[in-house]
Amino acid sequence: MSNTLITDKSYINGKWIKGTQSFDVINPATHKVIASVADLTVADCRKAIDHAYAAWPGWRDLEAFKRSNLIMEWFRRIMDAKNELAHIMTLESGKPLAESLKEVDYGASFVEWFAEEAKRAYGETIPAPKMGQRLLTIRQAVGVVSAITPWNFPLAMITRKVAPALAAGCTVVLRPASQTPLTALALALMAHQSGFPPGVFNVITGKDSKGIGQELATNDKIRKISFTGSTEVGRSLMQQAAGTIKKVSLELGGNAPFLVFDDADIDAAVKGAIIGKFRNSGQTCVSVNRFLVQDGIFDAFAKKLTTAVKKLNVGNGLDDGVQVGPLINQDGVDKVKAHVTDALDRGAKLLTGGKAKSGFFYQPTVLADVDVKALVAQEETFGPVCALFRFKKEEEGIAMANDTEFGLAAYFYSNGVNRCWRVAEQIEAGMVGINTGLLSNAVAPFGGIKQSGMGREGSKHGLDEYTELKYLCFE
């Protein structure tokens, strides 16, 4: 399929910039070069920030309805280009085409939602403590926003940040992951065609993630940085942003538990487990990392899950019927290999899989009776491995679930209404899926606690992240 949305230039101040160097974007399924994209420098990044800064007052002061109309036009163009966008995403990220098509819907839903929310940046009136006073609050755009986004959701992680920022009246400099810049540039093309004024949305592509990241975190024209990625990088960006006291939103790593209690519907739990674990080959921040299964149901759940995992079709995401694509690169494969070897060395039983295939592919794997000290329990595996741990009592399961420095997503299955309330309230996570393995959508607040980050994306709260609350006192 030829794809008219593939572009190899960065987008700054409404212009397409080639730069002096380029870098290759590789298809992880075939290792073939898809395109060679502008490799911009820190100096180019600084220029983009200057343009975004200059464009900010005009964009901020535009009537909210006009900003909303432009963002809605962007939404329509994204939806009209659904097939081409999905094709680009599968080429550069490896995810199965069916998942890429779903990601276009998911990513576009943030654009539609925040186009609507642009009109609803409400303030409030406050009963005054003193006669003759009138107190109120207004919400105002933060200023220039920098956004740094990952490769695992090349479209949705961008729209989840950029759409609310634009809706609030902020201008944006985006640095997409160097593995998946093509989707970001296609989004910029559609924003350009939608008629956004120059400088409002800028996309910097480049290999120098450290240098560009540092500029985006320290430049004093930027008032807010939003990052999705590893906890390690998030911590460093937060430290750098402290120098100019920027507002910070961080969506970082997870170590999601998936508890299956004795009173759960096993078939429903297996279905949820497959979605929660194998979406994007296990490379999502909300992927299940630890299956904590109560003793009485452990063997039955393990058996049914293994049967379902064996049926998964692994291959090139562009091929019909493929459900599990490759991992993003060799580092991803090496991490999965190390985690599986470590679990087996500590006495885990291998129920299926357990081997790397050629290229960046890894067999969907199930490990049972894994030791809680194993790497798979401690770190985010980011691959297609189900690690099953056994627990006896509800309190023990909850304690195991919370025994991590992370707190992004958690899931559990139970048919007991009292248990559902009890467990949901005790789990330490920003998001809890109850009898479901998929909880992401545009209308609910996405984000974590503990070392999984701060701030919320999506929902009515997503707009607040890009506004300042100003208090007015009239007398």
Active-site positions read 251, 285
Nearer to ligand SIN, 156 or 185 (CB): 156
Kindly tell me the sign of the dihedral angle through the C-alpha atoms of 97, 98, 99, 102: positive
**Minimum CB separation from ligand SIN for residue 187, in Å?**
16
End-to-end CA distance of the chain: 66
**Minimum CB separation from ligand SIN for residue 286, in Å?**
5
**Minimum CB separation from ligand SIN for residue 228, in Å?**
5
Q: What does the binding site for ligand SIN look like in residue numbers (CB under 6 A)?
A: 152-153, 156, 228, 251, 284-286, 440
**Minimum CB separation from ligand SIN for residue 153, in Å?**
5
Other CB atoms within 10 A of residue 155 CB = 29
Nearer to ligand SIN, 228 or 240 (CB): 228
Angle between helices 209-218 and 42-61 (to 10 degrees): 40
Nearer to ligand SIN, 262 or 379 (CB): 379
**Minimum CB separation from ligand SIN for residue 456, in Å?**
12
Nearer to ligand SIN, 158 or 420 (CB): 158
Nearer to ligand SIN, 109 or 284 (CB): 284
**Minimum CB separation from ligand SIN for residue 278, in Å?**
13
Nearer to ligand SIN, 93 or 152 (CB): 152
Give the pairing type, strands 247-251 and 256-260. Answer: unpaired
Nearer to ligand SIN, 209 or 426 (CB): 209
**Minimum CB separation from ligand SIN for residue 94, in Å?**
15
Q: Which residue is closest to ligand SIN by CB?
A: 440
